[in-house]
Amino acid sequence: MTTATESNSAAHNSPATKFPAIANPTAEKSSDIASNINYHAKYSPHFSPLKFEPEQAFYATAESIRDCLIQHWNETYLHFHKVDPKQTYYLSMEYLQGRALTNAIGNLDILDAYADALNKLGHELEEIAEQEKDAALGNGGLGRLASCFLDSMATLNLPAWGYGLRYKYGLFKQRITKEGQGEVAEDWLEKFSPWEVVRHDVVFPVRFFGHVLVSNTGSRKWVGGEVLQALAYNVPIPGYKTKNTNSLRLWEAKASADDFNLFQFNDGKYESAAELHSKAQQICAVLYPGDATEDGKILRLKQQFFLCSASLQVCCQTYMDIIARFKERREGKGPWKWSEFPSKVAVQLNDTHPTLAIPELMRLLLDDEGLGWDEAWDVTTRTIAYTNHTVLPEALEKWSQIVMRKLLPRHMEIIEEIDKRFMAMIHSSRTDMESRLSSMRILDSSNPQKPVVRMANLCVVSSHTVNGVAQLHSDILKSELFADYVSIWPAKFQNKTNGITPRRWLRFCSPELSNIITKWLKTDGWVTKLDLLTGLREFADNEDLHAEWASAKMANKRRLAQYVLQVTGVSIDPNSLFDIQVKRIHEYKRQLMNILGAVYRYKKLKEMSPEERKKATPRTIMFGGKAFATYTNAKRIVKLVNDVGAVVNNDPEISNYLKVVFVPNYNVSVAEVLIPGSELSQHISTAGMEASGTSNMKFSLNGCIIIGTLDGANVEIREEVGEENFFLFGATADEVPRLRKEREDGLFKPDPRFEEAKQFIRSGAFGSYDYNPLLESLEGNSGYGRGDYFLVGYDFPSYMDAQDRVDEAYKDQRRWLKMSILSTAGSGKFSSDRTIAQYAKEIWKIEECIVP
- Give the whole-angstrom CA distance, residue 65 versus residue 46: 17
Nearest to ligand GLC of 142, 349 (CB atom): 142
Q: Which has the closest alpha carbon to 702: 728, 681, 719, 723?
A: 681
Q: Are 356 and 308 within 8 A, CB to CB? A: yes
Name the active-site residue from 344, 504, 583, 834: 583
Nearest to ligand GLC of 344, 389 (CB atom): 389
Q: How far is the CB of 588 from ligand GLC (least distance, A)?
A: 9
Q: How far is the CB of 781 from ligand GLC (least distance, A)?
A: 22
Site residues for ligand GLC per CB under 6 A: 140-142, 145, 389-390, 469, 498, 690-694, 712
Q: How far is the CB of 468 from ligand GLC (least distance, A)?
A: 9
Name the active-site residue from 546, 589, 626, 683: 589
Name the active-site residue from 389, 659, 683, 758: 389
583 catalytic per annotation: yes
Name the active-site residue from 99, 454, 557, 584: 584
What residue is closest to ligand GLC based on CB? 141
The enclosing H or E element of 558 equals helix 543-568
3-state secondary structure of 348: strand
Nearest to ligand GLC of 304, 350 (CB atom): 350
529 catalytic per annotation: no
Helices 813-825 & 543-568 angle (0-180, nearest 10): 90
517 Cβ contact list (under 8 Å, min separation 6): 506, 526, 533, 536, 824
- Give the whole-angstrom CA distance, residue 28 versus residue 31: 9
Q: Are 235 and 146 within 8 A, CB to CB? A: no
Amino acid at 2: T
Name the active-site residue from 245, 381, 694, 824: 694
Q: How far is the CB of 388 from ligand GLC (least distance, A)?
A: 9
* Cα–Cα separations (whole angstroms), residue 599 to 454, 595, 682: 42, 6, 16
Nearest to ligand GLC of 24, 463 (CB atom): 463
3-state secondary structure of 535: helix
Q: How far is the CB of 132 from ligand GLC (least distance, A)?
A: 24
Nearest to ligand GLC of 132, 587 (CB atom): 587
Q: What is the distance, to the nearest Å, from the Cα of residue 358 to the centroid of all Cα atoms in its chain? A: 23
Residue 625 is classified by DSSP as -
Nearest to ligand GLC of 122, 141 (CB atom): 141
Nearest to ligand GLC of 31, 732 (CB atom): 732
Q: How far is the CB of 140 from ligand GLC (least distance, A)?
A: 5
Nearest to ligand GLC of 243, 718 (CB atom): 718
Nearest to ligand GLC of 390, 669 (CB atom): 390
389 catalytic per annotation: yes
* Cα–Cα separations (whole angstroms), residue 33 to 19, 24, 40, 44, 60: 9, 7, 11, 16, 11
Q: Are 662 and 637 within 8 A, CB to CB? A: no
Nearest to ligand GLC of 476, 552 (CB atom): 476
Q: How far is the CB of 386 from ligand GLC (least distance, A)?
A: 13
604 Cβ contact list (under 8 Å, min separation 6): none
Q: Which has the closest alpha carbon to 703: 481, 852, 495, 509?
A: 509
- Give the whole-angstrom CA distance, residue 606 versus residue 612: 10
Q: How far is the CB of 782 from ligand GLC (least distance, A)?
A: 24
Long-range contacts of 56-63 (CB under 8 A, 24+ apart): 57/7, 57/11, 57/118, 57/121, 57/123, 57/128, 57/131, 58/101, 58/128, 58/129, 58/131, 58/132, 59/194, 61/37, 61/101, 61/114, 61/118, 61/128, 62/100, 62/101, 62/132, 62/194, 62/195, 63/194
Q: Are 307 and 287 within 8 A, CB to CB? A: no
- Give the whole-angstrom CA distance, residue 363 versus residue 642: 51
Sheet holding 619-624, edge to edge: 658-663, 619-624, 577-582, 680-683, 705-708, 726-728
- Give the whole-angstrom CA distance, residue 821 versus residue 544: 12
Q: Are 361 and 383 within 8 A, CB to CB? A: yes
Name the active-site residue from 698, 740, 758, 829: 698
- φ/ψ (deg, to 5) at 94: -130, 140
Nearest to ligand GLC of 15, 468 (CB atom): 468
Q: How far is the CB of 252 from ligand GLC (least distance, A)?
A: 25
Amino acid at 262: L
Sheet holding 398-400, edge to edge: 398-400, 452-454, 443-444
- Total number of residues shown for the chain: 852
589 catalytic per annotation: yes
Q: How far is the CB of 139 from ligand GLC (least distance, A)?
A: 8
Q: How far is the CB of 702 from ligand GLC (least distance, A)?
A: 17
Q: How far is the CB of 437 from ligand GLC (least distance, A)?
A: 29
The enclosing H or E element of 402 equals helix 401-407
Q: How far is the CB of 469 from ligand GLC (least distance, A)?
A: 4
Nearest to ligand GLC of 10, 469 (CB atom): 469
Nearest to ligand GLC of 180, 624 (CB atom): 624
DSSP assignment string, 115-143: HHHHHHTT--HHHHHTTSPPEEE-SSHHH
738 catalytic per annotation: no
558 catalytic per annotation: no
Catalytic residues: 389, 583-584, 589, 694, 698
